[in-house]
């Protein structure tokens, strides 16, 4: 059975990692290494979760920093201003308020 986008997003946010990642990236774009360190998430799990959240549209890669030896570091920011979950009349729904591009640009400053 294929999960809907709403089910995928709600599953990502059902544990502590998803919420921590969104909170940490809301004010300022962060690299996965910093997310892992500050949120106490194993690095492999942090990379996997950030990629899943980016695919779902919850995070957006804001910039890429060229590091030593040609290694690139992406900085991710939260792409939502609010997420509301509801269960009404036997039906589950999720409502997402996406940030506008101008709001995302302010996060990088």
Q: Where are the domains of the chain?
A: 5-107
Q: What is the spatial distance between Cα 97 and Cα 38, in angstroms, rounded to a whole number? A: 26
Could you tell me which residues come within 8 angstroms of residue 74 by beta carbon, excluding any fewer than 6 positions away?
A: 31, 32, 61, 63, 64
pLDDT of residue 105 exceeding 90? no
pLDDT of residue 33 exceeding 70? yes
CATH of domain 5-107: 1.10.10.10
pTM: 0.83
What's the pLDDT at 92? 80
Would the CA dihedral through 78, 97, 4, 18 be positive or negative? positive
Q: What is the spatial distance between Cα 36 and Cα 42, in angstroms, rounded to a whole number? A: 6
């Amino acid at each position: 059975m294929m999960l809907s986008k709403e089910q995928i997003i709600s599953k990502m946010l059902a544990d502590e990692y998803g919420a921590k990642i969104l909170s940490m990236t809301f004010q300022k774009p962060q690299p996965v290494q910093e997310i892992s360190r500050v949120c106490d998430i194993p690095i492999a799990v942090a990379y996997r979760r950030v990629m899943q959240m980016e695919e779902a549209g919850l995070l957006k890669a804001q910039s890429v920093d060229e590091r030593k030896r040609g290694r690139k570091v992406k900085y991710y920011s939260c792409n939502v201003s609010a997420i509301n979950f509801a269960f009404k009349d036997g039906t589950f729904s999720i409502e997402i308020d996406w940030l506008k591009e101008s709001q995302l640009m302010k996060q990088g400053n």
